[in-house]
Amino acid sequence: MLNQYETVFISTPILSDTQMKEAVKKFKKIISDNGGEIIHEENWGLKKLAYPIQKKSTGFYYLIEFKSEGQLIARLETEYRRDEKILRFLTFRMDKYAVAYSDKKKNKAKNELKVEEN
């Protein structure tokens, strides 16, 4: 059975836009190559950190929501640890309430976008 997961990673702020896109592409490829299905992704952009990490006070945040087997998480987190561009990461399995909240949030964002277009 596939579980639904959400992973957020923070990359170093010294990356160019293309380097950030390459990093995102790399992690999305790891997910899809190992049987995962990407459901949703969000680029939260450059944000100030609550405390300095590796002497950096800002970082690029990126969220990926996906479905996969549990074994993929160990592979994904190993790749996060190996990549020197990644400052921090967090991956968790979403329960039915988290999935429902996420779906509700995505639908609300879609509806707001439709209203702006009209």
Tell me what percent of the residues of the chain surpass a pLDDT of 70. 98
pLDDT at 15: 87
If phi > 0 it is left, if psi is from -120 to 50 it is alpha, else beta; for residue 37 that is beta
Categorize the per-residue pLDDT at 109 as very low, low, confident or very high, splitting at 50, 70 and 90.
Answer: confident
Say which DSSP state 83 is in.
-
User: Which residues neighbour 96 within 8 Å (Cβ) at sequence distance 6 or greater?
Assistant: none
Categorize the per-residue pLDDT at 102 as very low, low, confident or very high, splitting at 50, 70 and 90.
Answer: confident
Helix, strand, or coil (residue 60): strand
CATH code assigned at 87: 3.30.70.60
- What domain count does the chain have? 1
The mean pLDDT value for 16-27 works out to 91
Task: Tell me the average pLDDT of the chain.
Answer: 90
pLDDT at 118: 60
Q: Are 87 and 59 in contact (CB under 8 A)?
A: yes
pLDDT beyond 70 at 111? yes
Give the range of the structural domain holding residue 75, as residue numbers without chain letter. Answer: 3-117
